[in-house]
Amino acid sequence: MKENLTWHFGAVSSAVRESLLKQRPVTLWLTGLSASGKSSIAYALEKLLLEKGKCSFVLDGDNLRHHLNSDLGFTAADRKENIRRTAEVAHLMNEAGLIVITALISPLCSDRQMAREIIGAQRFLEVYVNASAAVCESRDPKGLYVKARRGEISEFTGISAPYEVPDNPEFEVDSESDPVGLVAEKLYQHLAGQYFPK
């Protein structure tokens, strides 16, 4: 099939989009245990960006599983496909000029590396949302840890499936002691310094 396909180049460059939107596109790839605070931080940062006139959109793992990824489960293969599709969407949104914030556990280094390659290393910021397993389990806002301990959820990250801590993330945020608003503010300040041309 591919041999009969030709890439059709558009007439609008990324530089034109950047000057129109007054922002350089980037993806903040939030990774961390369930209940570490990825979604809370992602939506707080999105709100902050919009309030400052910046165009941003959250790709939340749980939300995507209601629609685009509703056919996928939690096996390693399905998690990989979940991440591949999300990264492809993030890439398209970056091409459109948006600042993308993803919130997926994305437990494996190899899958996050795949996301980095799909999105492009220059536009990819890995953000480790660090809260200990004990704290995440004590928060348990969705009651998932209780269910996983009862054996009602198979392949639950941190209990019956692995989480590989990022080796060298562009950012690490302390979501145990820093409140959500402060974490979002710190990430915003970083973006403001590097991604908002005058």
Q: How far is the CB of 129 from ligand ADP (least distance, A)?
A: 6
Pairing of strands 124-130, 26-31: parallel
* 175 given a catalytic annotation: no
The 10 Å Cβ neighbour count of residue 11 is: 5
Of the two residues 105 and 191, which places its CB atom closer to Mg ion in the complex? 105
Part of the chain binding ligand ADP (CB under 6 A), chosen from 51-59, 88-96, 164-172, 179-187: 179-187
Residue tagged active-site, from 40, 106, 154, 175: 106
Using Cβ positions, the residue closest to Mg ion within the complex turns out to be 39
C-alpha span between 13 and 15 (Å, rounded): 5
Is 148 a binder of ligand ADP (CB under 6 A)?
Answer: no
Total binding residues toward ligand ADP, as defined by CB under 6 A? 17
- In the annotated binding site for ATP, the residues are 32-39
- In the annotated binding site, the residues are 32-39
The DSSP call for residue 3 is G
Phi, then psi, of 197 in degrees rounded to 5: -60, 145
Is 106 a binder of ligand ADP (CB under 6 A)?
Answer: no
- Residue 36's binding partner among ligand ADP, Mg ion, none (Cβ under 5 to 8 angstroms by kind) is ligand ADP
* Sites for Mg ion among residues 3-32 (CB under 5 A): none
The b/e string for 25-54 (b: 16+ C-beta within 10 A; e otherwise) is bbbbbbbbbbbbbbbbbbbbbbebbeeeeb
Are the C-beta atoms of residues 109 and 29 closer than 8 Å to each other? no
Binding mask 128-147 for ligand ADP (x = CB under 6 A): -----------x-x------
Are the C-beta atoms of residues 147 and 160 closer than 8 Å to each other? no
Is 157 a binder of Mg ion (CB under 5 A)?
Answer: no
Concatenated DSSP letters of 140-168: -TTSHHHHHHTT-SSS-BTTTB-----SS
Is 40 a binder of ligand ADP (CB under 6 A)?
Answer: yes
Is 39 a binder of Mg ion (CB under 5 A)?
Answer: yes
Are the C-beta atoms of residues 49 and 56 closer than 8 Å to each other? yes
Is 41 a binder of ligand ADP (CB under 6 A)?
Answer: yes
Which residues lie near ligand ADP (CB under 6 A)?
A: 32, 34-41, 103, 139, 141, 175, 178-180, 183
Active site residues: 106
